[in-house]
Structure formats: C-alpha cells, structure tokens
Chain A
Amino acid sequence: MAVMTYIEAVTLALKEEMLRDKDVFILGEDVGHKGGVFRATDGLFKEFGEQRVMDSPLSESAIAGVGIGAAMYGKRPVAEMQFADFIMPAVNQIISEAAKIRYRSNNDWQCPITIRAPYGGGVHGALYHSQSVEAIFANQPGLKIVMPSSPYDVKGLLKASIRDNDPVLFFEHKRAYRLLKEDVPEEDYVIPIGEAAIKREGDDVTVITYGLCVHMALQAAETLEKEGIQAHVLDLRTVYPLDQEAIIEAAKKTGKVLLITEDNKEGSIISEVAAIIGEHCLFDLDAPIQRLAGPDVPSMPYAQPMEKFFLINEDDVERAIRDLAEY
C-alpha cells in the first residue's frame, strides 16, 4: 500500500497491464520520450520500448483509427487523446466505427480499445483545455464511458477498461491528477465497469455525481455533518451505460436528490440520471430533483473571474445540499 496521486495510479495501472499482457500497448501524442504532457506515461517508454509506447503523429483520427484496426487484429491498444477537447477529429472513428464494430458485424469482430483523455476545468485551460465531453458520447450504445473520482478507482477501473472486450472511453480529470492522493494497493485488482459506488452513507439528501465533483460532494458532506445534515453520496463511476439500479436505490433512500456535473447543464449525464429517477421513484420523492451544473455557454473562459464563475465549487455543493435538506 502506498499513497499515490490520481495520475500515478493511471501510470501504475498502465504499467501493470503492460506487464500482464504483451498485447497491451500505448499510442498517442507525446506519450513516448516525454512521458505524456501530464506525465501519465512517465517511465513506460524506457521500460517497454518504442513499439509499445508509441509516439504518433499529431492526428487524433489516426490515433483512434489505427488503434481500432490493431484492436480488431487482436491487440489491446490504449490510445491517448492529449486533451478531451481534441477528441473531436476522432469522433467519426469512435462513434461510427468503434461503437458499432461488434454490432454491425453480428458479433464477428470486436474492438477492445481504451481511449484515455484528460478532461475538466479549473486549470486556466480556457475554452479548449477545460471541457467535459462525455455527454457527446453518452447516447452511443456500444461505447462504455468511465470517469473515476479517486486514485483507488483509477487503478481498478483503468485495468478493467483495458481488459474489456468493448471500446471504453476513460476520462481523467486534469485537476484531480495531482490534487487527489490516497492509499492504492500494490496488488492486482479490478473494479467492474457499469457499477456505481456509494462513497458515503446518509439519510437526508442523496447526491449523485461523478469525477472530481465526487470529491467536492464528500467535502461538503463533511462540513454539513456538523450541522446535522447527512448526505448520501453515490459516485456513478461509469457514466454510460448508467447503473440504473444503484441510482434508483440511492434516490429512494432519502427522496431528496441533488445531481452534480461540471459539464454544461442541458443534455448532460445528470439530465439522464434525473430522467431515470423521474421514471422510477415518483412515490419516494420528497422534493424536486435538483441539478447543479455549469452554465449553458459553449465552454469555460480563460480569465480567472469568468472561469471561477463557470466552475461549480464546494460552496455551491454545500449550499445546494443544505437547501434540499431544509426543503
């Protein structure tokens, strides 16, 4: 057991899977010599060589497309998009190809690719280094989208993603990379994709969220405990397909539900979560379902006051929980 940052857990999971299975290889811009612009692949080039930690030309569609071809052949590529914002040129490859390969070939071919991408704001990244892009992919059956909230989950979920026989988008929060630290076991473990996790038990307000917002929710919950408000926090972990059972159970638990995302509000992941709760939990609801999200503007501005305005923070979360508790 060692205390590890979120990004160190990424590196460790990659390393362990590459040692375990020779078919696993990494493909992306600056992943080789430099070890990634965030240092997620630090040391791997040295350990596994150029062919398995491959610097690709600056071309996202090829990173995805070449990875897809290698995956069809039988490899387990881990493709890196340098920023989630730059995944757009690869959307055709991901949605038209990866997501549909098993389905369109009637189970003849499969595409076990993992596409990693750092997402999220609060790092002075402006419009094109701050976005959350999961909602764009979250109505594409055939894809799985994983968004871990802690170093422990990063390791277990990234290993599960690499071993999964279907394409997985693995979004890592940039600000979490060095902000979050915790004990991560050295032994091999996987966390099943598609399962949400209760990160805190409580009986006043249910908070359902994912990614870095889980951290905010837990911090807010701790503060509110002193006021006698007990928040129940469910971490979605996989945002597509959603763990409907866990969502319904968590919503029924308190009947007061706060949904949080860092993404723009309309059409976001939490909008779908709200729909699931609306369909299944009417007679357990004790308050209107609340969504806390970014404003519906195209992306996060650069200037600090505007960036701060866009981002939700611990105080917003705390206020929203208290508001529901008092309802």
Chain B
Amino acid sequence: MAVENITMPQLGESVTEGTINSWLVKVGDHVEKYEPIADIMTDKVTAEVPSSFSGTISELLAEEGDTIAVGDVMCKIEVEQMEQVEATDDEINEEPPLLTTNRNDDDTSMKKRYSPAVLRLAQEHAIDLTIISGSGRGGRITRKDVERFIERGHTGEVNQEAVTEQTPSPVYERMAHDIEIPVKGVRKVIADHIVKSKTEIPHAWMTVEVDVTNLVNYRNKIKQSFKKNEGFNISYFSFFINAVTQALKEYPQLNSTWAGDKIIQRKDINISIAVAKEEELFVPVIKQADEKNIKAIARSVNDLATRARTGQLTNEDMQDGTFTVNNTGTFGSISSMGIINHPQGAILQVESIVKRPVVINNMIAIRDMVNLSLSLDHRILDGLVCGRFMARVKEILEQTSEETANVY
C-alpha cells in the first residue's frame, strides 16, 4: 500500500488556481482511475477532475469552496499496488549546479583586477588601492569597498602589511645620448609645491561647457576701440576672471583653505593667475578682484603678465592668492585637470574657445564654446556646491553680451 497525492490540475492556459465546487467522493470511497473525484471551477472553465489512480480516498485536503493553487495537493489516495509511475520532470531534471563559485578566502587572484568604477573613485580621491582589502570574489576590491573606505575618511580596513611595505624609489639609468638636466631653482620649487598639493589635497574634477558666442561677438566688437582708447588689450580672460569673482562672492565656500581641524573661508577675493615663461611658471595675484570692473581686471592681467615676462614681479605680487584662474586655452587645450595651488581650495582652468556645432531648439547652430574645468579640494568642497558655483559662472558668461555687459 502506498499513498499518492492528487494535485490541482492546470485547466486553461493562463490559469494558476482552481476552486473546488464540490467533492464527488468522500474519505473511504473506492475510486477507479479516471473516475471523477471533484468538480473544479476556474476563471476559464468548469470541469470534473478525474482520479489519477485506483484506490481508496484517505484524506481530503480542502473544503468545498476552497481555492487551491495549480500543483498543490487536493486529496490523498491509498493505492492497492505501486503504480508504474512515469518519471516526473523533477526526477529527470537534476538540480543545476550552483553558478556561484565557492568562496575561498585565500584566493586573491582578483585582488588587482580593478573595475572602471573602482579606478575612477581611486583617482578622484587619490586613494592608493593597494591599501584596501577587497570583499569581492577572489579578493577583488569592489566599488562598495572603495566607497566605504572614503566614507570612513581613509581610516578603515587598512592592510597594515601594504602600508608598512616601503616601495623603493625607482632608479633610472641614463642611456647613451640622453641628456641629464639637474633640477634646481624655480623648477625645484614648482616640483615641490605641486607634489605637496597633489599628495596632500584629495582632488576631484568637474567640467562645464559654456556658450560664449555673445561674449565673443561683444569683445570682437569693442576690441579695436578699447585698445585705441585704453592702450592695452581687452582679453577674454578678463571676462572669465570677472565672472569667477562674482560667483565666488555668492559661493564663498570655494574661496577657502583646508587648515587641518578647520576650514578658513577667505573674505578677500584675490585671484591668482598663472603666467608661463619658458622654464618658469609665475602665479601673480589680482588683489581684491571683486572690487574691480572688467577694464580694471584687464589692466591688472596686462600689468602682471608684462612684469612676469620681464622678471619684474615682486614677492608681494605673488602672495595672498585665494583662488586660481588658469588660462590653459592659450595653449590650445580644450580639457585639462589643474593641480590646486596649495593651500587654496580650488582652481579653474579656462580652455580654448572653439567654434562647434551645437543643438539649440532641435536645430544645429555654430556657436563659440568653451570648457571650464574645476579642480577642487574634496575635503572642503562637495559636488553640489561646486556644481552650483560652476552653473553660476556659466550663467554669468552666457548672459554677457553687448546688451548686458559693460567693461567700464
């Protein structure tokens, strides 16, 4: 004797359950195979369900009116002899092997396979990935591992072994015909300053694209007369410094310095500008730039650049900068990542103005476009405030036109 289950059949293609209208058998009844045992109603059909076995009904698992899911047991039946049960698909189908590989904590084969997301985060936050331990398969460092590491302010999950391990300075041998240039003077100062900035400040970057067509038209229009009247050039750069200065007034967070346990927000807006001279790089400062109009800024730029090139800058000229605007566009660059002028909070690169096809109102127009790239000290600043600052600079520049601007 064996007990078999009779399950709710699927009566109709979309049917997932059936309701027992009435039982046609009761416990103890003997039924032949294919004899009806219940009247079942579904959304699609009403039908009598036959028994799949010959035997005696031993248990009814549902009341009349109950709704049972397709495949669930309706009743049990004691069969006289073992039926030659056809193999069910469960028996045919072996469980497929688990796709997941077994975790092996010793496996570190993936430790140095970095995903694009991990590399980007590491770069943005100047993180040395060798000091993070990975929680992914094969010891892989996951994006979440890096995000957690950043959240904990660089202090968590440090792999001591990796930290204490001293990476020896590489030794580079001079090959025949190579030239050796000793590093000293201004080059050495620049190098030290940049290394300090790059290792100390966790840099993050952001670039916006600005349509300066109107500004270009305006400046081209007044270029000749301005030069004639004032005796010096009115450069695009002055308009950019003016816009940055105005925006800094509204977002003073960018005019700040990291001071270990505090952030110092500067009252004065002193704009450092980079002036290159062959092997040297000077960064003189336009003091209280926010109190100057475009003409005055243009005069300062002109004056400082001339003195830099003729070696007449004083120490004082190069002190007290609070924010740097760098005219990388002069070199034809259209995208660059500036290194912050330590100990300032940010630097803005003004790239080349180029004519590009731009979609306006679903039509293609030729516009004068410029990229502005901001590098920021991520300890002081976040994406949100920088985004707003950049949007403001963009807005000021895009609104600059003959109708709205006045260089005087």
Contacts and interface: CB of A to CB of B under 8 A. Distances in A.
Verify that A and B bind, or say they do not: yes
A284 interface: yes
Contacts of B99: 319-320, 323
A283 B137 CA distance: 20
B143 A174 contact: no
Interface string B6-20: 000010011111000
Interface string B21-49: 00000000000000000000001100000
B115 interface: yes
A282 B16 contact: no
A125 B44 CA distance: 15
A319 B100 contact: yes
B348 to A, nearest CB: 23
Contacts of A118: 14
Contacts of A175: 14, 16
A178 interface: yes
Contact of A326 (B10, B100, B120): B100
B118 interface: yes
Contacts of A7: 14, 43
Contacts, number: 75
Contacts of A326: 100, 103, 136-137
Category for how many chain B residues contact A: 20 to 34
A301 B17 CA distance: 23
B117 interface: yes
Contact of B116 (A178, A179, A285): A285
B111 interface: no
Nearest to B87: A305
Contacts of A309: 93
Contacts of A305: 89, 92-93
A254 B117 CA distance: 10
B13 A125 contact: yes
Contacts of A255: 115, 117, 143
A123 B11 CA distance: 10
Given A286-B115, A308-B93, A327 B14 contact: no
Contact of B16 (A178, A284, A319, A322): A178
B382 to A, nearest CB: 18
A164 B140 CA distance: 49
Contacts of B115: 255, 285-287
B137 A327 contact: yes
B176 interface: no
Contact of A178 (B14, B100, B103, B136): B14
A282 B13 CA distance: 43
Interface in A133-184: 174-175, 177-179
A304 interface: yes
Contacts of B179: none
Contacts of B14: 7, 38, 118, 123, 174-175, 177-178
Interface of A: 7, 38-39, 118, 123-125, 129, 174-175, 177-179, 203-204, 254-256, 282-287, 304-305, 308-309, 319-320, 322-323, 326-327
18 contacts: A39-B44, A118-B14, A129-B13, A174-B14, A178-B14, A178-B15, A178-B17, A255-B143, A284-B116, A285-B116, A286-B143, A305-B93, A308-B93, A309-B93, A322-B100, A327-B137, A327-B140, A327-B142
